[in-house]
């Protein structure tokens, strides 16, 4: 492909992302659902050449890695341990209420058992990216219910650190012995990385903390990609490897790395979502629309229950409990990532997940804006919050 045509097509895609990003800002919502729609629209009106499509595909993979890395930067190793200990029962409730609907829906839709387990993962995970954006955009990072929202997101990410290598090993297939070896390698690699991140993260932080912003950016980005690559080769999620690097970094270097990486993260994350939209076959949407809508409604309620219950145990009043519940509703980057794993065994899983994510990514941000009206209304007649 001529270089000029490559630049032209990539420039058209990025300009489309810029336009929908501006529209999302004016509407006061997260741009993720609009990025998905932009990808769907671009896929319907233009056919990208092999070179730009390969570039976008690679950029999408980098986007998934950077999303999880910057999420890991939000937590220190001590905070991670404390969150796991303090909210483990809430995490079990979340798993039971939100994994089960997807699993059952997969069975009812005739998916094979592994594809049904993947759909359970799709419905289980709150989008940490969307949740954190809602909190930041609406000025709620200091609210009393916010630690509960963040704790749920962390617990889900830890569950995914076990879930993804198990699923990856099962997707590879082979003999029972081969599957068992893959599982042991994946879980062992994760356990080792988790231990090193918690135990020696301060050493890594000192090594990476150089005066030059340019050297810091290059060093951190290189480290994230190397660890993500090793994790992927060991059948652990590349994104989880990046998350653990984020956990390991702390203090001044974490704050500087966050500022340096955010523009790259936003660029490649946008590419990640538009790439998924580009892959969506519009002809397959009608067949999955009804189950996607039904699943979105059911799991919006179940996720809301988790947030409402968790904030109540923290002593938060009805309006804050409502905010916690609605902030947890959106699914996003990780749900799409999981659906992508199963396209080879259940082609309809991709379109179903895309429509489902789009619906929940709209329902959550819209509902959370009505906390002043709906929070006290829903709270009437309920028991008073119990202090933790």
Q: Does domain 12-46+57-379 have CATH number 1.20.1530.20?
A: yes
Q: What is the mean pLDDT of the chain?
A: 82
Each residue's pLDDT tens digit, 10-50 = 888 888 889 988 888 787 666 777 887 888 888 777 777 67
For 30: left if phi > 0, alpha if psi spans -120 to 50, otherwise beta; the answer is beta
Residue 274 vs residue 280, higher pLDDT: 274
Q: Residues near 104 by Cβ (< 8 Å), separated by ≥ 6?
A: none
Segment 300-326 mean pLDDT: 92
Largest CA distance in the chain: 67
Domain ranges of the chain: 12-46+57-379
Q: Would you say residue 387 has pLDDT above 50?
A: no
Q: Is 317 helix (H, G, I), strand (E, B) or coil?
A: coil
Helix (H) or strand (E) holding 304: helix 285-313
CA angle 325, 123, 279 (to 5 degrees): 125
Percent of the chain whose predicted confidence (pLDDT) is above 90: 22
In the numeric block, the tokens 């002043």 are attached to 372
- Residue 11 CB burial class (10 angstroms; 0-12, 13-18, ≥19): exposed
pLDDT of residue 385: 45
pLDDT of residue 375: 67
pLDDT of residue 386: 42
The percent helix, strand, coil of the chain (3-state, each to 5) is: 80, 0, 20
pLDDT of residue 237: 67
Each residue's pLDDT tens digit, 80-116 = 677 667 788 999 999 999 999 999 999 999 999 999 9
Total residue count of the chain as it appears in this document: 388
CA distance 314 to 110: 41
Each residue's pLDDT tens digit, 336-371 = 778 877 878 888 888 899 889 889 988 888 888 776
């Amino acid at each position: 492909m001529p270089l000029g045509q490559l630049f032209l097509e990539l420039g058209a895609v990025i300009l489309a992302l810029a336009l929908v990003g501006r529209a999302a800002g004016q509407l006061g919502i997260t741009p993720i659902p609009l990025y998905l729609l932009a990808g769907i629209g671009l896929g319907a009106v233009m056919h990208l050449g092999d070179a730009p499509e390969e570039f976008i595909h690679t950029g999408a993979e980098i986007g998934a890695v950077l999303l999880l890395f910057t999420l890991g930067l939000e937590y220190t190793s001590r905070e991670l341990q404390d969150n796991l200990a303090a909210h483990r029962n809430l995490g079990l409730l979340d798993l039971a209420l939100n994994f089960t609907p997807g699993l059952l829906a997969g069975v009812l839709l005739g998916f094979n058992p592994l594809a049904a387990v993947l759909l359970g993962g799709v419905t289980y995970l709150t989008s940490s990216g969307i949740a954190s954006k809602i909190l930041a955009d609406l000025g709620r990072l200091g609210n009393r219910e916010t630690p509960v929202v963040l704790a749920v997101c962390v617990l889900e990410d830890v569950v995914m650190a076990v879930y993804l290598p198990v699923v990856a090993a099962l997707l590879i297939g082979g003999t029972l012995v081969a599957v068992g070896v893959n599982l042991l390698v994946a879980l062992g690699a994760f356990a080792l990385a988790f231990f090193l991140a918690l135990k020696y993260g301060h050493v890594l932080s000192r090594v990476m903390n150089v005066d030059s912003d340019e050297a810091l950016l290059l060093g951190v980005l290189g480290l994230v990609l190397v660890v993500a690559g090793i994790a992927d080769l060991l059948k652990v999620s590349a994104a989880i490897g990046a998350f653990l690097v984020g956990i390991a970094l702390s203090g001044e270097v974490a704050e500087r790395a966050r500022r340096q990486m955010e523009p790259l993260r936003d660029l490649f994350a946008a590419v990640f979502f538009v790439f998924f939209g580009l892959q969506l076959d519009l002809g397959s949407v009608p067949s999955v629309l009804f189950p996607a809508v039904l699943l979105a409604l059911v799991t919006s309620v179940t996720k809301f229950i988790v947030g409402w219950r968790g904030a109540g145990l923290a002593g938060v009043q009805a309006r804050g409990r409502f905010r916690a519940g609605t902030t947890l509703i959106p699914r996003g980057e990780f749900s799409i990532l999981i659906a992508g794993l199963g396209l080879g065994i259940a082609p309809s899983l991709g379109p179903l997940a895309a429509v489902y994510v789009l619906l929940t990514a709209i329902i959550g941000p819209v509902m959370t804006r009505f906390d002043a009206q709906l929070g006290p209304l829903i709270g009437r007649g309920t028991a008073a919050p119990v202090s933790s």
